[in-house]
């Protein structure tokens, strides 16, 4: 019998139709128990045994894991922060309702950067998560636990959330597929908020087909999220075709810049050549305001974050530090509850929103955000999909960038623009460095045209078969 943990989601569903989901749950329980002490991808994991032979729904009871900023009724959720440790939400996020109705078993709750603030999963209050390809390196972040658990075959698939690249960058660094849908495609109800005008939930999977299967389940309008879109949801699995004739793919010159690892550039350019062979048209394009993306993001997203994190004050849930009066309780609870990166972003966000600085920083940031959106609008008149590296480097060493926040922030330079513009984007494995670390390429598409990028991703993946290579653990 083949190792059940190495199955794709699609294969596992087929298995469960014949033999039930219980053997899968047992296999994942065993593997996660063995590997989690090394990788720290899960903050908690485990599922009650499934006695029933048949589980209704497309997913047939197979296990899926969830980033620990998505609420599950009756289960602890922490955002990897001490300020929420022990908090048990009294309701399900909409994506959890949808997964449950589709027959998923909720398995692991995945480690992450504290409140999704980070690109390395090192800011977790419960210990760094490690990259399954090299345990001395980071898995990327903030959905590092989600990506690492999928790469290490500790789960079939996982949900992540993406505010500035938090699904795509760890997917690239761990050699798996990660999709950030169009803003508004997936309900944010029950996702603990970071940057409300950026946040999107999306799947992290072993294959493009698995991602399309989960996209079909997750997407759609939700009356509980006023920013969720009424746009019609197509059957994404129908877009998985190997024929790319007529597809126009743009290579933005601003994404191939100094500072990018030459092996990454080479790998993504080779992917462009392959696309040409597969019948796509490759065009050079320009997104002139790209270099300002990180600056805009670190004004607007931290402003939203500082406002969203105002609710953690010790009154209604989570940590409360006992003090003699209320005012002191706020200050002490927040001091002891938040880690360094959370404090850094709360302070920065508070500053850019404060009287006297609002216009120079926040309003200016919002205006440049408009320029970046317009760059994409223009580009998408000429091309259907944009191809770039996902991250300028492969997985870096644990501790390498901790002391220098700007160096850490720049690791998201290629993923942030899609969040600023609200467009869909995904990362697909496209090769390996000479040191054996995974390389990811990013595909971006027009708003609500996830089908176009999934089609391009699928054709590449099937042609190269890169996803079949696994880390040695």
Partner 1 sequence: MEFKIERVAELARLNLKSEEKQKLEKDLGAILDYVKKLEALDTKGVEPTSHVLNMENVFRADEVKPSDAAEKALEHAPHADGRFFKVPKIVHRD
Q: Which is nearer to partner 1, 208 or 296 (CB)?
A: 296
Q: Which stretch binds partner 1 (CB under 8 A): 14-22, 36-44, 187-195, 366-374?
A: 366-374
Site string for partner 1, 247-286 (x = CB under 8 A): ----------------------------------------
Residues 99 and 63: beta-carbon distance below 8 Å: no
CA angle 278, 284, 286 (to 5 degrees): 140
Active site residue 206: no
* Binding to partner 1, residues 299-318 (CB under 8 A): 299, 306, 310, 313-318
At its nearest, how many Å lie between partner 1 and the CB of residue 405? 5
Binding mask 327-356 for partner 1 (x = CB under 8 A): xxxxxx-xx--x-x--xx-xxx-xx--x--
Q: Does 415 bind partner 1 (CB under 8 A)?
A: no
Count Cβ atoms below 10 Å from residue 441 Cβ, excluding itself: 27
Q: Does 358 bind partner 1 (CB under 8 A)?
A: no
Residue 52 vs 378, nearer CB to partner 1: 378
Among 8, 29, 323, 433, binds partner 1 (CB under 8 A): 323
Measured from the CB of residue 78, what is the shortest distance to partner 1 in angstroms? 13
**Secondary element (H or E) of residue 107:** strand 105-110
Catalytic residue among 120, 124, 142, 161: 142
Nearest to 373 by CA among 328, 408, 420: 420
- Give buried/exposed letters for 221-245 (b at 16+ CB in 10 A, else e): ebeebeebbeeebeebbebbeeebe
Nearer to partner 1, 8 or 196 (CB): 196
Nearest approach, Cβ of 143 to partner 1 (angstroms)?
Answer: 21
**Which strand ranges, in their side-by-side order, compose the sheet holding 177-180?**
42-45, 105-110, 63-67, 157-162, 200-205, 177-180, 425-432, 438-445, 385-389, 248-252, 281-285
Number of residues that bind partner 1 (CB under 8 A): 71
> Catalytic: 427?
no
Pick from 390, 349, 389: which is nearest to 140 by CA? 390
Site string for partner 1, 83-122 (x = CB under 8 A): ----xx-xx-------------------------------
Residues with Cβ within 8 Å of 63's Cβ and at least 6 positions away in sequence, in order, are 21, 24, 25, 28, 47, 104, 105, 106, 107, 108, 155, 156
DSSP helix/strand/coil, 251: strand
| 414's tokens | 């290629």
**How far is 427 from 140, CA to CA, in rounded Å?**
13
| 320 touches partner 1 (CB under 8 A) | yes
With contact defined as beta carbons under 8 Å apart, do 10 and 34 qualify?
A: no
Q: Binding partner 1 by CB under 8 A: which of 117, 133, 183, 194? A: 183
Tell which positions 431-470 bind partner 1, by CB under 8 A: 447
307 is catalytic: no
- For the annotated catalytic residues, the residue numbers are 67, 142, 166
């Amino acid at each position: 019998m083949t190792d059940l943990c190495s199955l794709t989601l699609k294969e596992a569903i087929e298995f469960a139709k014949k033999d039930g989901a219980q053997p899968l749950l047992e296999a994942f329980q065993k593997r996660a128990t063995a590997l989690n002490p090394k990788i720290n991808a899960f903050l908690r994991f485990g599922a009650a045994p499934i006695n029933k032979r048949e589980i209704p729904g497309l997913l047939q009871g197979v296990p899926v894991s969830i980033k620990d900023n998505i609420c599950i009724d009756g289960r602890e959720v922490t955002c990897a922060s001490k300020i929420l440790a022990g908090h048990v939400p009294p309701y399900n996020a909409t994506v959890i309702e949808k997964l449950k109705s589709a027959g998923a078993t909720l398995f692991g709750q995945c480690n992450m950067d504290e409140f999704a603030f980070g690109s390395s999963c090192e800011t977790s209050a419960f210990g760094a998560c490690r990259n399954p390809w090299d345990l001395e390196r980071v898995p990327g972040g903030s959905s590092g636990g989600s990506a690492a658990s999928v790469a290490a075959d500790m789960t079939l698939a996982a949900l992540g959330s993406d505010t500035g690249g938090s699904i795509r960058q760890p997917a690239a660094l761990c050699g798996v597929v990660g999709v950030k849908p169009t803003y508004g495609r997936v309900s944010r109800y029950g996702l603990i908020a970071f940057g409300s005008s950026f946040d999107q939930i999306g799947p992290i999977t072993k294959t493009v087909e698995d991602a399309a299967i989960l996209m079909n389940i997750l997407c759609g309008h939700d009356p509980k999220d006023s920013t969720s879109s009424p746009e019609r949801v197509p059957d994404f699995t129908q877009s998985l075709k190997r024929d790319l004739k007529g597809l126009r793919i743009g290579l933005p010159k601003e994404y191939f810049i100094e500072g990018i690892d030459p092996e990454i550039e080479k790998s993504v350019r080779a992917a462009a050549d392959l696309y040409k062979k597969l019948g796509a048209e490759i065009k050079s394009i320009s997104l002139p305001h790209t270099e300002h993306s990180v600056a805009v993001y670190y004004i607007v997203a931290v402003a939203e974050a500082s406002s969203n994190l105002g609710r953690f004050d010790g009154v209604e849930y989570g940590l409360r530090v006992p003090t003699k009066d209320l005012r002191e309780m706020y200050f002490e609870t927040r001091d002891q509850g938040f880690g360094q990166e959370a404090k850094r972003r709360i302070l920065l966000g508070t500053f850019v929103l404060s009287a006297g600085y609002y216009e120079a920083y926040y309003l200016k940031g919002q205006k440049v955000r408009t320029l970046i959106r317009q760059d994409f609008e223009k580009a998408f008149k000429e091309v259907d999909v944009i191809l770039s590296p996902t991250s300028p480097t492969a997985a870096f060493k644990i501790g390498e960038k901790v002391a220098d926040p700007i160096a850490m922030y720049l690791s998201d330079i290629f993923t942030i623009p899609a969040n600023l513009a609200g467009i869909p984007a995904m990362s697909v494995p496209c090769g390996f460095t000479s040191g054996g670390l995974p390389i990811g390429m990013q595909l971006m598409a027009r708003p609500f045209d996830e089908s176009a990028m999934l089609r391009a991703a699928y054709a590449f993946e099937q042609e190269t078969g890169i996803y079949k290579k696994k880390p040695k653990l």
